[in-house]
Chains A and B, each alone.
Chain A
Amino acid sequence: MIRTTPFHERTSALNETGLWEHWSNCLVAQRYQMSEKFEYFAIRNAAGMFDTSPLYKYRITGGDAERFLGGVLARDPRRCAVGHAQYTLWCDDRGFVIEDGVLLHIADGEYLLTAAEPNLAYFQGLIGRLDATVEDVTEDWGVLSVQGPYARDLVAAVAPQAKDLGYFGIVRAKVAGVPVLVSRTGYTGDLGYEIWAPAADAVAVWDAVAAAGKGRGVIPFGMTALYMARIEAGLVLLDVDFHSSRFAWTDADRTTPIELGLGWMFRDLAADGGNGTAASSNGHDGHDDRAFIGAEAIKRELREKTSRWQLTGLMVDWRDYDRIYDAAGLIPPKDHTPIQDEYYVYDEGLNQLGYATSQMYSPMLQRHIALARVPLALTTPGSRVKLELPVAHRYEYFDASVTRLPLFNPQRRTA
């Protein structure tokens, strides 16, 4: 039986299309109006509201909560002080990614962790003798994501305490009398916040934000616009850009954090090898000496440079794109609809190099872009590859150049 989110009373009234997707068995709007592209532009040019409630949420508490998380999560949670959040992931003991999520350190000995899929049994099975409890609090919260250049104004209007919140900061506030958590997080690569409200009172929070945005072009956006934004931002999606190592059949479907382009998470882990990047300058007093799951494998990968490939951005050469379509007698389509499927990447001699996992035409970048796995030798920005795409019922090979992620990265995102 399909379920609804705490904001459903509002989202259902606003969804003019009747198009819904099922996300963790919840109804979420695919798009609210006929043009998902207009919703996308709200994210990039005003602000959009997104119901992100179906995401799994775990509450981790206890005197050993930090120690527990330190042993499970690949990124060092000791670097995440109270009032801060951290993009993180967890690996298996071979250093392959299981999932990613955002860790919120909301109080001493109390964390929230998001996940795309259920992980409770996995986490609970790792507690052992530690004083730590993991509970699934997914349905306790309605989470309203407010993303775009106006997001700070909107959040400041409903929760003045959040006005000066730094990137990945968290603050407790009251919105319309409802106690909430505000985190400066999101999945759009833009300036953005997420407001965590008790499920029963979530609608009041939606209304307050909507009222603050009235007359300013603030609209709700659905999954399609979200996917557009996240591809531009180079934010990976489970079961599209990577798969959970727990459920992969072969290593070809597994990926390491470094292969996903997240090697920066291990700057402090580099004591005995290093990944070639400069030492962290954020003032931490020492190296990351944790024995977290996958640490040895990750260190070995860094040391021996055994990564098989790396996720990177691709920008398709627009002249080549137009040329190929023109030659086929077609008008070159510039379709922003995200294609979250595999397409192959080749060298000049049409030997397969890797594959793209997500692609679209980016209205902001005015190019066809992709997230793709390429061999390490080709990760240098500007490296040339060919992207295989069907044109007129046959495959054609489009010139593309490797581009550093994120492909779209406005200053306001972190400012």
Chain B
Amino acid sequence: MAKSKSTREDRTYDAIVVGGGHNGLTNAAYLAKSGLRVLVLERRAIVGGAAITEELRPGFWFTTFSYALSLLRPDIIHDLDLVKHGFMPILMPSTFCPKEDGDYLLLGQDHGENHKEIERHSKHDADAYDAFNHDVNKVLQAIKPLLDEVPPDIFSDDPEELIRLAALGSRFRRLDRKVLHDAVRLLTGSAADFLDDYFESDILKGYLASTSIIGTKVGPYSQGSGLVLLYHLLGEHDGEFGAWAFHKQGNGGFTKVLARAAAAFGAEIKFESPVEHVITEGGRATGVALGDGSEYHAPVVVSALDPRRTFMELVDPRELPTDLVDAIRRFRFQGTSAKVNFALDGVPRYPALGDRTDQYRGFTNIGPSMEYLEHAFDDAKYGWYSKRPYLDCAIQSTVDPDMAPPGKAVMSCFVQYAPYKLRESDWDTEKQGLGDTVQATLESFFPGFGKLVLQREVRTPLDIERTVGLSEGNIFAGEFLAPQMYFFRPAPGWSQYRTPIEGYYQCGSGTHPGGCVMGAPGKLAAGQVLKDRERGRLRGVKVGGGGAGARGAAARDGNGTGRTAAPAAARG
């Protein structure tokens, strides 16, 4: 298939996607499915961005960064035929929360058993747990549709946008007043305040509050942590809100599935092809130039990178409106999470459970109280990593035995807090110090842990930035703070995946709804590209006018409704 000589013709596509992370792949797959000739340019030699799985020791597969699946939009699974390409989210049937006094909270799949387990810590909290879940599920039910829609543009006078805004208002007006109030409390308040309304048990509150800090520089007592909590609970596994799954072969296994799906629809993926900049002519994008000077051309260029790279690096900020540049400059990244992954000689023992090991079939949550989490945050506030960090651990080989040789284990530990900027030091100096701190913390809960360690891999925020390209190592491509969400993600007026440069789009996690291997930005951005093509909004692009355009039209006809091809357009 390789051609001896590249001509301009075979470097011309209908769309070029910059970055082969999960959103770039999702975007490319949707565009290709609609008949566009799509090229994905990936800087590294593998797809996946932060969702990769690497065999860093023979037989041991590490989920180097991203490590579980929950928020992935279910329509992507079906629209892109992911099951056919190997999509396989495996149930994680339990959550294990060790306590510092040697006790623990172990929640599983049986409702009655969970009651009794919670009652060991607080009889009061057993039905409170049901009430909490019921109340929160009501909020999640109300909010969830927002994840699958392009946010209305509140700054636009376009009648269509005004109608969408009215529809949004009317949806919330119809809500039960308690549900709306709970939603606002979660969206604006602290997780601690919300949890204190229901519970008295430290371990239960610690477990639930852990979700309120993930990836964000807030503590459970900070205003804004409620939003992070709510965001994570919006995920689902097989219809259950807040449940996580482990994809076969980790999230790297998942992005390989996405890449196969994109390729099956005809998208082409080029590796080791770092895009240096987007080529613009007369205010519109016409292609991209790579670091080696080579060029690829397309009337549509979609950046799957974060907002800083999308607006400040791939294009010249001088081509952009000042207020946008200013908003992006002020967009908060401040990565605060790290990973420490282990190859283990076996599964650790928890003294109170003797030789039992089935407690490790889901997350092991080292965050035994809200105070523990807040103390961990205190260190970060003043520019240092936590002395006793919050750890979200998963011994993934217990769920997918192919991840490690028989009898051995791989363990992924998400670590917080590890601020990108350290006070009077740097991550190259402190990297192993963080690893030691994490290992010491684990040793304190699992005596003898250190003896099991065959290999330790530390990934600081700086490593995340260097390897994956996420600015300041922020795992969500920009923090989950209210002024950076929905209408405002990534900047006021630019939350609909377009940019001021015609033909240049954004689809990374820095756009609505955000990160967490959700795929929604990639999907929704594809919908916008297709909508603009349909409306002839892209100059120089003729739909059905021959060549690739004709293919696109034919494919849409084949779909019948076009619903799967452009979900955002269909709903919008």
| Residue B361 CB within 8 A of the other chain | yes
Q: Are A318 and B90 in contact (CB under 8 A)?
A: no
Q: Are B110 and A34 in contact (CB under 8 A)?
A: yes
> Which residues on A sit within 8 Å (CB–CB) of B137?
331
Interface residues on A, range: 20 to 34
Contact (A34, B239) CB under 8 Å given A318-B74, A363-B91, A366-B78: no
Q: Are B109 and A35 in contact (CB under 8 A)?
A: yes
Q: Which residues of chain A in 346-373 are interfacial with respect to chain B, using CB atoms and an 8 Å cutoff?
A: 361, 363-367
In the complex, the chain A residue whose C-beta lies closest to that of B405 is A215
How far apart are B4's CB and chain A's nearest CB, in angstroms? 37
| Residue A37 CB within 8 A of the other chain | yes
Cα–Cα, bound, A308→B16 (Å) = 53
How far apart are B140's CB and chain A's nearest CB, in angstroms? 8
Identify which of A319, A322, A332 gathers the most chain B CB atoms within 10 Å of its CB.
A319
Cα–Cα, bound, A150→B110 (Å) = 28
Q: Are B141 and A366 in contact (CB under 8 A)?
A: no
> Which residues on B sit within 8 Å (CB–CB) of A363?
89, 91, 238
Partner of B108, one of A34, A322, A361: A34
Cα–Cα, bound, A154→B456 (Å) = 31
| Residue B388 CB within 8 A of the other chain | no
How far apart are B148's CB and chain A's nearest CB, in angstroms? 11
| Residue B379 CB within 8 A of the other chain | no
Contact (A37, B407) CB under 8 Å given A318-B78, A364-B83: no
> Which residues on A sit within 8 Å (CB–CB) of B113?
34
In the complex, the chain A residue whose C-beta lies closest to that of B109 is A35
Q: Are B109 and A45 in contact (CB under 8 A)?
A: no
Partner of B77, one of A35, A332, A366: A366
In the complex, the chain A residue whose C-beta lies closest to that of B239 is A334
> Which residues on B sit within 8 Å (CB–CB) of A318?
74-75, 78
> Which residues on B sit within 8 Å (CB–CB) of A319?
75, 78
Cα–Cα, bound, A309→B130 (Å) = 46
Q: Are B406 and A216 in contact (CB under 8 A)?
A: yes
Contact (A334, B93) CB under 8 Å given A45-B248, A217-B398, A366-B77: no
Partner of B141, one of A33, A46, A331: A331
Q: Are A46 and B108 in contact (CB under 8 A)?
A: no
Cα–Cα, bound, A336→B245 (Å) = 15
| Residue B401 CB within 8 A of the other chain | yes
Cα–Cα, bound, A217→B404 (Å) = 11
In the complex, the chain B residue whose C-beta lies closest to that of A16 is B358
Partner of A336, one of B77, B238, B358, B398: B238
Cα–Cα, bound, A213→B400 (Å) = 14
| Residue A284 CB within 8 A of the other chain | no
| Residue A167 CB within 8 A of the other chain | no
How far apart are A340's CB and chain B's nearest CB, in angstroms? 20
| Residue B263 CB within 8 A of the other chain | no
Partner of B407, one of A44, A215, A333, A364: A215
> Which residues on B sit within 8 Å (CB–CB) of A335?
239
Q: Which residues of chain B in 67-89 are interfacial with respect to chain A, using CB atoms and an 8 Å cutoff?
A: 74-75, 77-78, 83, 87-89
> Which residues on B sit within 8 Å (CB–CB) of A361?
238-239
Cα–Cα, bound, A249→B325 (Å) = 79
Cα–Cα, bound, A246→B430 (Å) = 77
Q: Which residues of chain A in 19-41 are interfacial with respect to chain B, using CB atoms and an 8 Å cutoff?
A: 33-35, 37-38, 41
Binary contact readout B437-463 vs A (1 if CB under 8 angstroms, 0 otherwise)? 000000000000000000000000000
Cα–Cα, bound, A45→B137 (Å) = 31
Q: Are B90 and A331 in contact (CB under 8 A)?
A: no
Partner of A34, one of B89, B109, B238, B397: B109
How far apart are A409's CB and chain B's nearest CB, in angstroms? 12
Partner of B91, one of A38, A215, A332, A367: A38
Partner of B400, one of A38, A45, A334: A45
Contact (A34, B93) CB under 8 Å given A331-B239, A336-B238, A363-B238: yes
In the complex, the chain A residue whose C-beta lies closest to that of B403 is A217
> Which residues on A sit within 8 Å (CB–CB) of B402?
45
| Residue B198 CB within 8 A of the other chain | no
| Residue B241 CB within 8 A of the other chain | yes
> Which residues on B sit within 8 Å (CB–CB) of A44?
88
| Residue A214 CB within 8 A of the other chain | yes
Binary contact readout A214-241 vs B (1 if CB under 8 angstroms, 0 otherwise)? 1111000000000000000000000000
Partner of B88, one of A322, A331, A364: A364
Partner of A45, one of B87, B90, B406: B90
How far apart are B95's CB and chain A's nearest CB, in angstroms? 12
Q: Are B401 and A35 in contact (CB under 8 A)?
A: no
Cα–Cα, bound, A333→B75 (Å) = 15
> Which residues on B sit within 8 Å (CB–CB) of A38?
91, 93, 109, 361
Binary contact readout B88-112 vs A (1 if CB under 8 angstroms, 0 otherwise)? 1111011000000000000011100
Q: Which residues of chain A in 306-343 are interfacial with respect to chain B, using CB atoms and an 8 Å cutoff?
A: 318-319, 322, 331-336
How far apart are B266's CB and chain A's nearest CB, in angstroms? 22
> Which residues on B sit within 8 Å (CB–CB) of A46?
401
Q: Are A215 and B248 in contact (CB under 8 A)?
A: no
Binary contact readout B481-507 vs A (1 if CB under 8 angstroms, 0 otherwise)? 000000000000000000000000000
Q: Which residues of chain B in 379-406 are interfacial with respect to chain A, using CB atoms and an 8 Å cutoff?
A: 397-402, 406
Q: Are B358 and A215 in contact (CB under 8 A)?
A: no
Partner of A217, one of B87, B89, B238, B401: B401
Q: Are A214 and B91 in contact (CB under 8 A)?
A: no
Cα–Cα, bound, A60→B238 (Å) = 47
> Which residues on A sit within 8 Å (CB–CB) of B398?
217
> Which residues on A sit within 8 Å (CB–CB) of B110?
34-35
> Which residues on B sit within 8 Å (CB–CB) of A35?
91, 93-94, 108-110
Cα–Cα, bound, A365→B113 (Å) = 29
> Which residues on B sit within 8 Å (CB–CB) of A34?
93, 108-110, 113
Cα–Cα, bound, A155→B6 (Å) = 53
Q: Are A365 and B400 in contact (CB under 8 A)?
A: no
Cα–Cα, bound, A150→B398 (Å) = 15
Cα–Cα, bound, A256→B398 (Å) = 45
Cα–Cα, bound, A95→B93 (Å) = 46
Partner of B238, one of A45, A322, A334: A334
Cα–Cα, bound, A214→B346 (Å) = 12
Contact (A215, B93) CB under 8 Å given A333-B239, A364-B88, A366-B83: no
Q: Are A41 and B91 in contact (CB under 8 A)?
A: yes
Partner of A37, one of B74, B78, B93, B141: B93
How far apart are A46's CB and chain B's nearest CB, in angstroms? 5
> Which residues on B sit within 8 Å (CB–CB) of A331?
137, 141, 239, 241
> Which residues on A sit within 8 Å (CB–CB) of B93?
33-35, 37-38
Name the 7 nearest CB pairs between A and B, nearest first.
Answer: A334-B239, A215-B407, A217-B401, A35-B93, A35-B109, A34-B110, A334-B238
Q: A33-B93, A33-B358 are in contact. List 16 more A-B contacts (CB 8 A).
A: A34-B113, A35-B93, A35-B109, A35-B110, A38-B91, A38-B109, A41-B91, A45-B401, A150-B401, A215-B408, A217-B399, A319-B78, A331-B137, A361-B238, A363-B91, A363-B238
A-B pairs with beta carbons under 8 Å apart, 28 shown: A34-B93, A34-B110, A35-B94, A35-B109, A35-B110, A37-B109, A41-B90, A41-B91, A41-B399, A45-B88, A45-B90, A45-B402, A214-B406, A215-B406, A216-B406, A217-B398, A217-B401, A318-B75, A334-B238, A334-B239, A361-B239, A363-B89, A364-B83, A364-B88, A365-B83, A366-B77, A366-B83, A367-B78
B interface vs A, CB < 8 Å? Answer: 74-75, 77-78, 83, 87-91, 93-94, 108-110, 113, 137, 141, 238-241, 248, 358, 361, 397-402, 406-408
